[in-house]
């Protein structure tokens, strides 16, 4: 299906046609190291857009019905969204395994122990990011990735309930089941 990114900053950003409001191309963000992914706070709203305005990045656009439809009908956009997810999974010490049958499984990677020390602590802002990622994946047509990520987070929660907390867990669960 053909779609136009004209007048839609999220589509233009995702297709590499224009940078975000900070002047960063999607390819630039994809090349960032873990330190940048942790310390910069105004890119996640572009990689994983939502319908609601961000309280933390008021310059980030929100999803329109047209953009949602474009993601849901475009293999290119969904593949680029999956690439954004895989970059964030590596940041968290996770990885995506895609079976030949189309089944998606997200598991801890060999980097999980070292990476989880950076984010698996009480009241960490990455819990909000994970809620955003789950929600965005579901809205934009990658429900199978959202479910796989939630299953992995469910396991992590069972091992780290005291750090994650029940409120965060319920946000994750609701993000996938909405």
In percent, the amount of the chain with pLDDT more than 70 equals 97
Is residue 1 over pLDDT 50?
no
**49 and 60 in contact (C-beta within 8 Å)?**
yes
| Residue linked to tokens 């297709």 | 15
User: 61 pLDDT band (50/70/90 cuts)?
Assistant: very high
Q: pTM for the full model?
A: 0.95
Q: How far apart are the first and last CA of the chain?
A: 27
Is residue 145 over pLDDT 70?
yes
Is residue 162 over pLDDT 70?
yes
Which helix or strand (DSSP H or E) is residue 97 part of?
strand 94-98
58/97: higher pLDDT: 97
13-57 confidence digits (pLDDT tens):
999 999 999 999 999 999 999 999 999 999 999 999 999 998 888
Q: Which of 62, 41, 67 is nearest to 51 (CA)?
A: 62
**pLDDT score at 4:** 58
User: 143 pLDDT band (50/70/90 cuts)?
Assistant: very high
Is residue 120 over pLDDT 60?
yes
Which helix or strand (DSSP H or E) is residue 98 part of?
strand 94-98
The rounded distance, in Å, linking the Cα atoms of 19 and 163 is 36
150/57: higher pLDDT: 150
The rounded distance, in Å, linking the Cα atoms of 113 and 176 is 25
Mean pLDDT, the chain, rounded, equals: 94
**pLDDT score at 100:** 82
The rounded distance, in Å, linking the Cα atoms of 174 and 178 is 6
φ/ψ region of 165 (left if φ > 0, alpha if ψ in -120 to 50, else beta) reads left
Which helix or strand (DSSP H or E) is residue 105 part of?
strand 104-108
Q: What is the DSSP letter of 18?
A: S
What the block records as the tokens of 130 is 């994970």
- The three-class DSSP label of residue 119 is helix
Q: How do the domains of the chain map onto residue ranges? A: 9-177
| Residue linked to tokens 């474009």 | 70
């Amino acid at each position: 299906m053909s779609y136009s990114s004209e007048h839609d900053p999220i589509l233009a950003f995702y297709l590499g046609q224009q940078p975000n409001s900070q002047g960063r191309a999607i390819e630039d963000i994809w090349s960032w190291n873990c330190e940048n992914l942790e310390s910069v706070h105004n890119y996640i709203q572009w990689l994983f857009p939502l319908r609601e305005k961000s309280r933390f990045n008021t310059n980030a656009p929100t999803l329109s019905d047209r953009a949602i439809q474009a993601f849901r009908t475009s293999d290119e956009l969904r593949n680029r969204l999956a690439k954004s997810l895989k970059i964030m999974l590596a940041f968290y010490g996770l990885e995506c395994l895609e079976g030949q049958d189309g089944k998606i499984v997200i598991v801890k990677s060999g980097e999980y122990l070292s990476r989880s020390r950076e984010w698996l602590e009480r009241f960490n802002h990455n819990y909000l990011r994970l809620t955003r990622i789950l929600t965005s994946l579901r809205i934009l047509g990658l429900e199978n990735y959202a479910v796989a990520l939630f299953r992995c987070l469910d396991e992590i929660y069972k091992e780290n309930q005291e750090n994650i907390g029940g409120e965060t867990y319920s946000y994750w669960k609701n993000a996938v089941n909405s």
